Structure 1
Amino acid sequence: MAKVALLIGVSEYEPGLIPLPAAINDVEAMQEVLQHPEIGGFDEVTVLVNPQRQEMEEAVETLFGGRQKDDLVLLFFSGHGIKDEEGNLYFATHNTRKTLLKSTTVRARFVHDVMNKSRSKREVVILDCCFSGAFAEGMLARDDGFVDVKNQLGGEGRAVLTSSTSTQYSFEQPGADISTYTRYIVEGLKTGAADRDEDGKISVDELHEYAKSKVQEAAPAMKPEIYAIKEGYKINLAKAPIDDPELKYRREVEFWVESGKGEISDAGRDVLDELRHNLGLTSEEAVVIEGKVLEPHREYQRKLKRYQERFIKEIQREYPISDNTREQLKRFQKVLGFTDENIALIEAPIIAKKPLTLPPVNPLPRQNNNFLQYVGACIIGVVIGGTVIYALLHKTIPPIVVNSCVKESYIVGDRISLGEKILLVKDTNSDKEAGVKAFANGDCKTAIDKFNAYRTANRTDPEALIYLNNAKARQQQQQLKIAVSVPIGTNPNVAKEILRGVAHVQDQVNSTGGINGKALEVAIANDDDSEDTAKEIATVLVNKQDILGVVGPCSSAASKGASTIYNNSKLVAISPTSTAVTIPGANNSYVFRTVPSDAVAAKQLADFMVNKLQKTKVAFFYNSKNNYSKSFISQFKSYAGFDINGDNRLNFDLSTEDFDPNNSIKQASQEGAEVLLIAPDSHSLDKALQVVHHNNNKIPILGGDDVYKIETLQVGKKAEKMILAIPWHIQNAQNSNFVKNSDILWKAPVSWRTATAYDATMAIITGLQQKTTRDGLKQMLHSPNFSADGATGKIKFAQSGDRADALTILIKVQQKPGTDQYEFVPIQP
């Protein structure tokens, strides 16, 4: 078994591509750790610096050619990546010219073909690529911001690690001796800190997790990724010391730095001082180790301070800031590697300290001089909403505190509210009731005070946070308005999950100056997950011309009729949770979604069943009267290779009155079912969970995202090991700003529905920042250049309205350690 590596660094280019001087240092640093006998222990490491295209292709082919099955083959590349109009990826060489793209670059497909022909089943590719500014000729305006590394380089027995799959950012720090991503790849290997399970070996997935966490501490917008299949995740790259004192100390430092959010607490200092003494480390050695651990945090703080200083100067010069200034700040943000959420948190406290002032009063006309002389000697009292504001004529008017709210009501029974009624009736107390009453009476100040008081004791209620922001928006008297349609009456838990995502964005936007200076107001609608009610609400909302967009409806059933109304009446509606394959409306319509369609989840579950479980005979439990349920079953059968209209003996309709879960399980077992697939809608979930209960873990169960509910966990042990496909899980995003900020807002974990609702709202806001009309918003969302940073990744839409590049993950039901409760946890690849 041999271990061989090829390290390619390209720092110098033809005119048109930005030089990357750190690339040379990257390969030297990698060479050092891979050749070290106590770290990488590689038998052969070849370094290639600034090669021409043919030289680079020959080196790659030589690397993978003539290898044996157990050989470990590693390819490292540091340099520019280029993407053409068809989405093909290329690696730039020393002589790369944008006008001669294919003849001067190495295609990723070439590398992929070479790897596929190799006999080695342990292949690792590490790409520290800078995509920013390295577009094919004429490509920049049409780029979608995403590089599809997985499909162009991935394969079985292979792991591909990337510094980023975004074409928007360049993270090589000016003057740095080594690029950000490579720095932490090397650090994880050299120190052994990447050995997360402390078994003395550093696997590919451990190295990825270490480097990713460090990179995102220093540059949150940079998102390293790993693409691996089966054994690819567990390829061991290097050795790590087990009893090394410095490594033990480092791990303890990392614990206290992480728990202290970048700082070491007094308690942590006591622990570390004692541990240092026990391990026999000197103070100087400890300081060096702590400095290395704290480095990404300090780098983040350095860049944060730079942005703060720049933003303060800009708002001192002009506020609200102009579009031109915002564009300049955006460019600075990208260079610093900050996400939109980072910027929101930086700007909010600065804006909060800046008083709202009105411009000086224009001089009155010069007629009636005697009257002017009289007025000029007086103090004028201006009454606004019950508050008297005094100012000397021709002087700047002091900050205005407006108590009153403009009264407005969207009455549809008790179904729509901007803050004048409580829809989540089980979530209330006297403060919330007083806040709603004050809002309805036009008393903004009291409403804000009461909603704030309520939020202190009830952090998880999103309705109160939306109403609080609505009251503030009314007080400001300049706002843009959207709506959200959720099933409060039939499924309040799901409704609250969605509302948390909407409220998160609203609070974030309004705390940072709004949308071009205008606050965001949100109307909440209760559609009861009913097609008829959702249509009634849609009719009201489309007739309210100040509503510019809608988040929802929730289910495929509710979306069916409502989406037709939204589309025909030209009002953008983005569902965060409707997954039926067909979206009502034609291409280029007003209807979108931020959740993957059933086709994505069904394919992943079908692949899991065939390849992982190695089973093929399935019993289907679904609601024949529900669009989502039928869609999911149809897609699963298609991907699993079943005859969709074939044998119905294993099809069980949850909607029939005589459905018997116990007998159905018995029949499925007698017919030889190896797997149960449950695809209920919210109305048939109880019956589906009875199937789970009677099955009692005897036959493996697969399910879609609609089963991801509290009710499923209440089935307890009998639901254990059930496998579901969902769009997102919090445990896979613990270090994201979305999760961190959600914890601050709600003091509780958030679900995939919160994440996709956040994405839907963020997409609307991003569009409104450019155009504040209904048709303009639709045009922005359909633009090939549109993208927004979401909780689940980059948000882009296909012309059909579907989320582009949507993915799902697999989760299972598992007992919480040391308790009698259950939780959903991701399945590790």
Structure 2
Amino acid sequence: MVKIALLIGISQYHPDLTSLPGVEEDIKAMQRVLQNQNICGFDEVKTLLNCDRQTIVDEIEQLFSHSEKEDLLLLYFSGHGIKDEYGQLYFATSITRKDERGKLRKATAVEASFVQKIMSNSRSKRQVVILDCCFSGAFAEGLPSKDDGLVDIKNQLGGEGRAILTSSTSAQYSLDSIYTRYLVKGLETGLADIDNDGKISVEELHEYTKQQVQEAAPAMKPEIYPIKEGFKIILAQVRNNPELIYRQTVERLCAKGEISDTGRLILNTRRDTLEILESRAKEIEEEVLLPFKTYTKKLHKYEEVYSKAINSKNPLSEDTRNELKELQQILGLRDEDIIPIEDAINARFNSQKSHYIKYLKSLFICIIGVTVGVFVGYMVRPPLQTCANKEQYVLNDRISLGEEILLKQVTKSDKEAGVQAFAKGDCLTAIYQFESYRKTNPTDPEALIYLNNAKARQKGDQIKIAVSVPIGTTQSVAEEILRGAAQAQNEVNKSDGINGKLLEMAIANDNNDPTDAVQMANQFVKDTKILAVVGHNASNASIPAAYVYQKNGLVMMSPTSFAQNLSNTGNYIFRTVPDVSGMAEKLSYYAVNTARKTNILICVDSKAVDNQSFKDELIKHITSAGGKINPTNCDVSSPDFNPSAVISQAINSRADGLVLGLYIDKIKKGLAVVQANKGQLALFSSPTLYTSETLKVGKANIDGMIVAAPWHSAAFPHNPFLQKSQNLWRASVNWRTATAYDATNAIIAGLQQNITRDGLPQVLHSRNFAVDGATGKIQFSQNGDRMNNPIFLVKVKQKPGKNEYEFVPVQP
């Protein structure tokens, strides 16, 4: 008898479907617990990540075709499930897409009927299928109205000796990762052993996971479909564990999210009997109570948003209702959770409203004449299209609020029409055109910024900031930064802005050039309406510009500049990324002590300020860790630079590692070094090479490269930024988007306390200032650097079955 599992995860999809970055962590977590010989003890666990249909069906057939009756076979799928127009279930693959009529291209997905047939032909009578996905009708817009959203899981996948576990019923919204998280927790902690017999059956695992999921996200309803002995399949063994006994007692005594006085006495006695430290007992209690606290926070959040909506407009518009429904789904709340909230707020609102009715009636006769006059005036004047504060714009000055397109490569007719309308002061038309454009081009951050600017101009009395990016030299990097700034602007404006004033954002192109950056800085300083600047990107641009901002008293918040000498430039200068010292230390320690590389070649651009700082720090930390620096000179800015000659010389002098610390504009030269290396030296890099261009060009030559970065999608799995960014951009984002989001959010939080140029830096430097961002809590030291700045290591890895590569986190 053997135990074999196949874990399939699809996180990256064709643009027709939303990406699910949490899937990768799901696969790793399941693999970890299934392979653990002290828990599940599977003999073989195979993983498939982001594979095409043919690869997946081959592996499923392989899993079930070569088995014996007593073998335990487990198939796990994390990704999108899709119902076609006939109600048949399919599992989306990395190539799944629509046809020209908007229907599912069935040849690009794996049909449930195929999986059922393969399982039914297997000799194994112990089969477990785990589906962490919702069963959406995403491609079935033409479904008849009688369709109830249900998927007949039992008949489409069921069979003798089989158990099917699903994260959510029918087409319910399935929160990314939450289901698998509790599956793994139930197995690893032993909490799923409900009857305390030392074994965890499929039924027990389902009951435990269902309870935990519904406490954290009540709208989700995990289900189990056991068929003939499927309930009794044993998945794991549980060893006697005092902490487990204590945890089970806590769960029993805090069924309603709190511990009574009597319950506290019971727990204290049980803690002493089991000889558990008081500090550890508190940790266990916090873990158990966390879902209740999370649920309460979600209720409060919905209450806050609904209250603002009803006070803004009653009755609610259809668009607002749809937005509230989406928020409800994202928060994972059921209708029965929100109905009491809405009823209470409606009752308060109606009560307040009734106090004014008599007063308004008494005034009606007096004001009717004025009303008629106003109405007549309205009818004879031009339609209300002009912005509340139209101004004359200077075209081709590399700065735009919405009057011209700076991202030239992503120009479309709707966007052009929006820009033309904005330049004329026709905000209503601009809003319509930008919204129309974004429906088919959701990844364009410039359009979202211009859309929010048009709305701010239409309302009037806005607050203005600027963001400066290198559009002319590295547009992909500029877009990454703009997405972070745009997301923060969009979120604050949807929440009624900064103290009731919407945020307006000017975009500037500084080309990563010191002269251009200083020019932009001088223009921003002269525009007294601009209260802060997000930027600049490279340290070569940030440092000279910083002196302009400091001299003239305007906050600069860089999301991407690493040079050490940006610190202490002045009290108006801040950044949301770590300086090179911390990154060099983390990368050096890994290279020497984990990768065991002791003779390391450092390749930099000597003309870039932060690159030279990075090299100096690398030398210090590599030698401190016990390694040595290879003497070969590798300077990509040298006029006679020859990558092949450099690599050959380094290898001849026994180099075994190569660290790349490059200026963003020198990525191509860095990749030339990588190509010349051909995998001979282990690769390490600063965050500069953390780009899509690196993956596309480098391919096999960068396989295994370790990169230091301030953020990765898996580093903060429960941070709301990630889910919001995926919903907003319909694509994955990288560290520049996260740190730009943090920089913009820090400015927003500061302006909420003081909307003056001089007052803002005082707020940001305050010990009491803190704001939650994509990379955790943001606070600043007196030198303008962020305190407790996180640094992570990521690794380039080939996607299974594809000639494509991706960045994945390096496990501690």
TM-score, length of structure 1 as denominator length: 0.60
Q: 1:381 aligns with which of 375, 380, 396?
A: 375
Would the alpha carbon gap of residues 316 and 648 (structure 1) be closer, same or farther in structure 2, given more than 3 Å must change? closer
Would the alpha carbon gap of residues 312 and 745 (structure 1) be closer, same or farther in structure 2, given more than 3 Å must change? closer
What residue number does 1:661 align with?
643
2:618 is the alignment partner of 1:636: yes
Contact 1:385 1:403 in 2 (8 A): no
Whole-angstrom distance in 2 between the partners of 1:810 and 1:478: 44
Cα drift, residue 384 of structure 1: 7.0
The 5-angstrom pairing of residues 33-44 of structure 1 reads none
What residue number does 1:157 align with?
none
Cα drift, residue 260 of structure 1: 11
| 1:61-103 CA distance string (max 9 Å, x none) | xxxxxxxxxxxxxxxxxxxxxxxxxxxxxxxxxxxxxxxxxxx
Q: Secondary structure at the match of 2:483?
A: helix
What residue number does 1:740 align with?
723
What residue number does 2:150 align with?
266
2:628 is the alignment partner of 1:652: no
What residue number does 1:618 align with?
600
| 1:659-696 CA distance string (max 9 Å, x none) | 11111111111222221121110232222211100110
Whole-angstrom distance in 2 between the partners of 1:268 and 1:601: 52
What residue number does 1:551 align with?
534
2:107 is the alignment partner of 1:255: no
Cα drift, residue 577 of structure 1: 0.4
Q: 1:278 aligns with which of 141, 162, 168?
A: 162
Would the alpha carbon gap of residues 786 and 667 (structure 1) be closer, same or farther in structure 2, given more than 3 Å must change? same
Whole-angstrom distance in 1 between the partners of 2:698 and 2:367: 82
Contact 1:563 1:585 in 2 (8 A): no
What residue number does 1:295 align with?
215
Cα drift, residue 614 of structure 1: 2.2
2:182 is the alignment partner of 1:199: no
2:660 is the alignment partner of 1:678: yes
The 5-angstrom pairing of residues 474-623 of structure 1 reads 474-583=457-566, 585-586=568-569, 589-623=571-605
Q: Secondary structure at the match of 1:797?
A: coil
| 1:260-287 CA distance string (max 9 Å, x none) | 99xx973375479837973499999898
The residue type equivalent to 2:509 in the other structure is N
The 5-angstrom pairing of residues 6-85 of structure 1 reads none
The 5-angstrom pairing of residues 87-236 of structure 1 reads 196-201=32-37
Q: Secondary structure at the match of 2:786?
A: coil
Would the alpha carbon gap of residues 656 and 311 (structure 1) be closer, same or farther in structure 2, given more than 3 Å must change? closer
What residue number does 1:815 align with?
798
Whole-angstrom distance in 1 between the partners of 2:378 and 2:558: 40
2:291 is the alignment partner of 1:455: no
Would the alpha carbon gap of residues 272 and 283 (structure 1) be closer, same or farther in structure 2, given more than 3 Å must change? farther
Contact 1:618 1:650 in 2 (8 A): no
Whole-angstrom distance in 2 between the partners of 1:594 and 1:600: 13
The residue type equivalent to 1:686 in the other structure is K
| 1:547-574 CA distance string (max 9 Å, x none) | 1111000001000110111111111111
The 5-angstrom pairing of residues 292-331 of structure 1 reads 292=211, 293-298=213-218, 304-305=298-299, 307-309=301-303, 312-313=306-307
| 1:205-243 CA distance string (max 9 Å, x none) | xxxxxxxxxxxxxxxxxxxxxxxxxxxxxxxxxxxxx96
Contact 1:600 1:807 in 2 (8 A): no
Cα drift, residue 412 of structure 1: 7.5
Whole-angstrom distance in 2 between the partners of 1:641 and 1:289: 51
Would the alpha carbon gap of residues 719 and 467 (structure 1) be closer, same or farther in structure 2, given more than 3 Å must change? same
Q: Secondary structure at the match of 1:732?
A: coil
Whole-angstrom distance in 1 between the partners of 2:546 and 2:801: 46
Q: Which moved more, 1:531-540 or 1:716-725?
A: 716-725
Contact 1:596 1:803 in 2 (8 A): yes
Would the alpha carbon gap of residues 488 and 243 (structure 1) be closer, same or farther in structure 2, given more than 3 Å must change? same
Would the alpha carbon gap of residues 796 and 435 (structure 1) be closer, same or farther in structure 2, given more than 3 Å must change? same
Contact 1:387 1:403 in 2 (8 A): no
Q: 1:427 aligns with which of 410, 414, 418?
A: 410
2:747 is the alignment partner of 1:764: yes
Would the alpha carbon gap of residues 647 and 294 (structure 1) be closer, same or farther in structure 2, given more than 3 Å must change? closer
Cα drift, residue 199 of structure 1: 2.5
Contact 2:158 2:164 in 1 (8 A): no
What residue number does 1:465 align with?
448
Contact 1:625 1:655 in 2 (8 A): yes
2:689 is the alignment partner of 1:699: no
What residue number does 2:187 align with?
none
Contact 1:276 1:286 in 2 (8 A): no
The 5-angstrom pairing of residues 716-727 of structure 1 reads 716-727=699-710
Whole-angstrom distance in 1 between the partners of 2:155 and 2:792: 39
Whole-angstrom distance in 2 between the partners of 1:752 and 1:314: 32
Q: 1:708 aligns with which of 690, 699, 702?
A: 690
Q: Secondary structure at the match of 1:729?
A: coil
Q: Secondary structure at the match of 1:774?
A: coil
The residue type equivalent to 2:548 in the other structure is I
Q: Secondary structure at the match of 1:652?
A: coil
Contact 2:630 2:655 in 1 (8 A): no
Q: Secondary structure at the match of 1:715?
A: helix
Whole-angstrom distance in 2 between the partners of 1:683 and 1:670: 29
What residue number does 1:235 align with?
none
Q: 1:749 aligns with which of 704, 717, 732?
A: 732
Q: Secondary structure at the match of 1:824?
A: strand
Would the alpha carbon gap of residues 377 and 431 (structure 1) be closer, same or farther in structure 2, given more than 3 Å must change? closer
Cα drift, residue 816 of structure 1: 1.4
What residue number does 2:68 align with?
none
Contact 1:618 1:673 in 2 (8 A): yes
Whole-angstrom distance in 1 between the partners of 2:313 and 2:149: 38
Unaligned runs of 5+ in 1: 1-192, 205-241, 321-336, 364-371, 390-400
Whole-angstrom distance in 1 between the partners of 2:468 and 2:683: 31
Whole-angstrom distance in 1 between the partners of 2:798 and 2:551: 48
TM-score, length of structure 2 as denominator length: 0.61
The residue type equivalent to 2:740 in the other structure is A
The residue type equivalent to 2:618 in the other structure is F
The residue type equivalent to 2:217 in the other structure is H
Unaligned runs of 5+ in 2: 1-28, 41-70, 78-125, 139-147, 166-200, 219-291, 315-330, 333-337, 361-365
The residue type equivalent to 1:626 in the other structure is A
The residue type equivalent to 1:255 in the other structure is D
Contact 1:623 1:630 in 2 (8 A): yes
The residue type equivalent to 1:576 in the other structure is P
Whole-angstrom distance in 1 between the partners of 2:372 and 2:163: 79
Q: Secondary structure at the match of 1:620?
A: strand
Whole-angstrom distance in 2 between the partners of 1:652 and 1:423: 35
2:787 is the alignment partner of 1:804: yes
Cα drift, residue 609 of structure 1: 1.6
What residue number does 1:166 align with?
none
Contact 2:599 2:629 in 1 (8 A): no
